[in-house]
């Protein structure tokens, strides 16, 4: 198969790394980079020896795949046009800010048999991948995604910016319908919620507490998963996993000898490279993407329901 002809649309703080990765993949020809910031797009283009464009329309007839790393408010317009042009599309999270728009993108991709992958990058974390070997019917999940304020994300709140990573992971691990939601959140530094926490009840009995904050000095990215006979602790940032489980089926642990602690040796990886390589492989071989458009839609819909619950309790954000 010929090389996949790819353009990166949006080469700011995140998109420039998309360009870096695509430029190194042997199956890819980086046809061009696009950004409305002319000085920035020229810098990135020179770095990777490819053409620079300030209007994405200029590359549509030259490519068969693209990644979108522009502000979320522009995701729908660009992705819709790419898909209508039969261009396989990778789109950063969240897929859009509107569930109806996201459903339309999913529908177009399905009707045209195109790959639509959403950038929920934690699915490619080596610790998450390894944890799947030990997970069996989680009963309680707790996540913490905390960090300092970044003015670049001031146009959106923590639910769709930070928490949505964990919403996708929890939906993936639990694989059950959410039947009840409680949520609180408040703006502190912006006009949007800067800290939020939600309590989710799933149809299969699992419960999840998910917290996100951008007003915390310490940066923390952790998830704890409790299930019958086992407990998993995962540090996303450190790419580390610890599993604590009973050695036997006995109901009562009589001593520490009845407990097994497993700390798998994990090779630290560049998650973005794994993510974009998976997108390329899905396009080249017609495989369902690890994080499909439907997965992105599901996480978005849950995030929007959480925001509705916050507004219901605390009024307009």
pLDDT per position as a tens digit, 155-203: 899 999 999 999 999 999 999 999 999 999 999 999 999 999 999 999 9
Q: Is the bond preceding 68 in cis, omega lying within 30 degrees of 0?
A: no
Q: Does residue 212 carry a pLDDT above 90?
A: yes
What CATH number belongs to 125-269+302-314?
3.30.360.10
What are the boundaries of each domain within the chain?
A: 4-122+272-289, 125-269+302-314
Strand partners, 116: 89
Q: Does residue 307 carry a pLDDT above 70?
A: yes
Strand partners, 6: 30, 65
pLDDT in tens, 140-156: 999 999 999 988 888 89
* pLDDT at residue 259, as a whole number: 79
Strand partners, 88: 65
What does the angle CA 105 – CA 97 – CA 294 come to, to the nearest 5 degrees? 40
Report the pLDDT averaged over residues 228-252: 88
pLDDT in tens, 39-67: 999 999 999 999 999 999 999 999 999 99
* pLDDT at residue 251, as a whole number: 64
Q: Does residue 253 carry a pLDDT above 70?
A: no
**Superfamily, domain 4-122+272-289:** NAD(P)-binding Rossmann-like Domain (3.40.50.720)
Strand partners, 260: 245
* pLDDT at residue 10, as a whole number: 98
Q: Does residue 130 carry a pLDDT above 70?
A: yes
Q: How far, in Å, CA of 56 to CA of 311, rounded?
A: 36
Q: Please give the helix or strand (H or E) that residue 17 lies within, else none.
A: helix 15-24
Q: How far, in Å, CA of 163 to CA of 178, rounded?
A: 16
42 φ/ψ sector (left φ>0, alpha ψ -120 to 50, else beta): alpha
Assess contact for 117 and 214: CB atoms under 8 A. Answer: no
Of residues 154 and 274, the one with the higher pLDDT is: 274
In DSSP notation, the chain reads -PPEEEEEE--STTHHHHHHHHHH-TTEEEEEEE-S-HHHHHHHHHHHT--EESSGGGGTTT-SEEEE-S-GGGHHHHHHHHHHTT-EEEEESSS-S-HHHHHHHHHHHHHTT--EEEE-GGGG-HHHHHHTTT--SEEEEEEEEE----GGGTTS-HIIIIIHHHHHHHHHHH-S-EEEEEEEEE-SSSSS-SEEEEEEEETTS-EEEEEEESS-SS-EEEEEEEETTEEEEEETTTTEEEEEEESSS-SS--SGGGEEEE--------HHHHHHHHHHHHHHHTPPPSSBHHHHHHHHHHHHHHHHHHHHHH---
* pLDDT at residue 254, as a whole number: 59
Q: Which of 15-19, 219-223, 253-257 has the lowest mean pLDDT?
A: 253-257
Q: Does residue 252 carry a pLDDT above 80?
A: no
The dihedral built from the CA positions of residue 152, 237, 193 and 215, taken in this order, carries a sign that is negative
* pLDDT at residue 317, as a whole number: 59
Structure tokens at 150: 């970044």
Kindly report the length of the chain. 317
pLDDT in tens, 184-193: 999 999 999 9
**Contacts with 117 (C-beta within 8 Å, 6 or more apart), sequence order:** 89, 90, 91, 278, 279, 282, 289, 290, 291, 292, 293
How high is the mean pLDDT of the chain?
95
- pTM summary value: 0.94
């Amino acid at each position: 198969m010929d090389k996949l002809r790819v353009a990166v649309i949006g080469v700011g703080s995140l998109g420039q790394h998309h360009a870096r990765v695509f430029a190194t993949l042997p199956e890819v020809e980086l046809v061009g980079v696009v950004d409305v910031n002319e000085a920035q797009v020229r810098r990135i283009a020179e770095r990777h020896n490819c053409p620079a464009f300030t209007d994405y329309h200029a590359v549509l007839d030259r490519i068969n795949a693209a990644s979108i790393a522009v502000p979320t408010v522009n995701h729908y317009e660009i992705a819709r046009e790419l898909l209508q042009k039969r261009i396989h599309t990778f789109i950063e999270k969240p897929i859009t800010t509107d569930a109806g728009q996201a459903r339309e993108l999913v529908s177009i991709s399905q009707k045209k048999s195109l790959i639509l992958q959403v950038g929920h990058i934690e699915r490619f974390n080596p610790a998450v991948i390894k944890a799947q070997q030990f997970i069996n019917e989680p009963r309680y999940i707790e996540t913490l995604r905390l960090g300092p304020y970044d003015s670049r994300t001031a146009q959106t709140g923590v639910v769709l910016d930070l928490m949505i990573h964990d919403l996708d992971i929890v939906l993936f691990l639990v694989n059950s319908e959410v039947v009840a939601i409680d949520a609180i959140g408040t703006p502190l530094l912006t006009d949007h919620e800067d800290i939020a926490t939600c309590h989710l009840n799933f149809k299969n009995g699992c419960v999840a507490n998910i917290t996100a904050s951008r007003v915390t000095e310490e940066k923390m990215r952790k998830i704890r998963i409790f299930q019958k006979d086992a407990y998993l602790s995962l540090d996303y940032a450190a790419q580390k996993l610890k599993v604590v489980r009973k050695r036997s089926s006995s109901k009562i642990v009589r001593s520490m000898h009845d407990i097994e602690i497993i700390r798998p040796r994990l090779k630290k990886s560049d998650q973005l490279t794994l993510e974009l390589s998976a997108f390329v492989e899905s396009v080249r071989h017609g495989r369902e993407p690890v994080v499909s458009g439907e997965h992105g839609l599901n996480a978005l819909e849950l995030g929007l329901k959480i925001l509705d619950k916050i507004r219901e309790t605390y009024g307009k954000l």
